[in-house]
Amino acid sequence: MGKQRVKFTFEETLVKQPVIYELGQKFKIVTNIRRAEVGEDVGWVILELEGDDPEIQKGLEWVSSTGVRVDPLGGDVIDG
């Protein structure tokens, strides 16, 4: 079992989609929301995912395929 901390960013059209619920239903992943904010045209959720590493990878690929942006916690780590 591994853990991964990620940030999901939802565009306005996706804010109403139950993406995190479906992530837990479609994959063997436990989702644990730590912080979130929903604005007028964008929302984000910072959460921890727990599960087998391949399952987390598959789950994150599915989240990306829905149009939700997936980023590592704390912004880009590649620096100039």
Partner 1 sequence: MAFINGLKCRECGREYPAEPLNVCEFCFGPLEVVYDYATISEVVSQDSISKGPLSIWRYKDLLPANGDDPVDIMAGFTPLIKARGLGKQLGLNNLYIKNDSVNPSFSFKDRVVSVAATKALEFGYTTIACASTGNLACSVAAHCARAGVRAIVFIPSDLERGKIVGAAIYNPILVSVEGSYDQVNRLCSELADDYPWAFVNINMRPYYAEGSKTLGYEVAEQLGWRLPDHVVVPSASGAMFTKIWKGFNELACLGLLDGVDGSSFGVDQNTVHHPAVTTRMHMQQAEGCSPIAYAWANNQSQVKAVQANSIAKSLAIGNPADGIYAIKVIEKSQGSAYAVPENEIVNGIKLLAETEGIFTETAGGVTISGLKNLADSGAIKPDDLTVVYITGNGLKTIEAVEEVVNPLSIKPSMRSFEEMFEGAK
Interface residues with partner 1 (CB under 8 A) are 4-5, 7, 9, 34-35, 37, 39, 41-42, 44, 46, 48, 69-80
In this structure, are residues 39 and 28 in contact, taking their beta carbons and an 8 Å threshold?
no
Q: How far is the CB of 27 from partner 1 (least distance, A)?
A: 17
Q: How far is the CB of 64 from partner 1 (least distance, A)?
A: 9
Rounded to the nearest 5 degrees, what angle is found at the Cα of 13, between the Cα atoms of 25 and 76? 75
Q: How far is the CB of 78 from partner 1 (least distance, A)?
A: 5
Phi, psi (5° rounding) for residue 27? -130, 160
